[in-house]
Amino acid sequence: MRFVGNAIWFVFGGAVLALVWLLGAALFAISIIGLPVSRAAFEIAKMSAFPFGKDVVHIRELDAKGLSAVTAVTGTIGFVANIVWALTFGWILFLGHLAAGIVNCLTIIGIPFGIQSFKLAGISLWPVGRRVVSIELAQLAREENAKLVLQRMRAA
């Protein structure tokens, strides 16, 4: 199902959406300041091309690093980069994915594609610090993080 869904998605708009993400990434890569946004846009372009079987997770869910001086600084830089992205390309991509999701959900066959569009709309406004991984890896990372939180709560 993933292969068929990805093939249909790519032919009927996924390629165009990925190109828009890559255009945004290229424009932000011109400046050194825009490199965090560029990295995030490349990640999301992968998902825009082939979204079935993939999920987006925050980098801290994958590396399980807690709050430190380094993560605080990178988090602040990421926050500012996300604001710049949201005010430039983010809102355009958000509206595009939102409109595509609504149109896709008008038919029963289009609902899985609409769900993918809504997932992409959600990350269009805030992509910095996100990584595209398989659904299985995302679930495993979330389970491991939940176990760590539970251990901390029991220890307190």
pTM: 0.79
Q: Dump pLDDT digits (tens) for 79-127.
A: 888 898 888 878 888 998 899 899 999 999 999 999 999 999 988 888 8
Break the chain into its structural domains and give their ranges.
2-155
Helix 69-85 with 35-49: angle, nearest 10 deg: 70
List pLDDT tens digits, range 16-31.
888 988 988 888 888 8
- Reading the block at residue 99, the tokens are 């409109």
Q: Per-residue confidence at 140, pLDDT binned at 50, 70, 90?
A: very high
Instruction: Tell me the mean pLDDT in the region 30-47.
Output: 83
Helices 15-29/35-49 angle, 10° precision? 170
Q: Are 56 and 44 in contact (CB under 8 A)?
A: yes
Q: Which two tokens stand for residue 73?
A: 């600084």
Task: Tell me the C-alpha distance between 68 and 10, whole Å.
Answer: 40
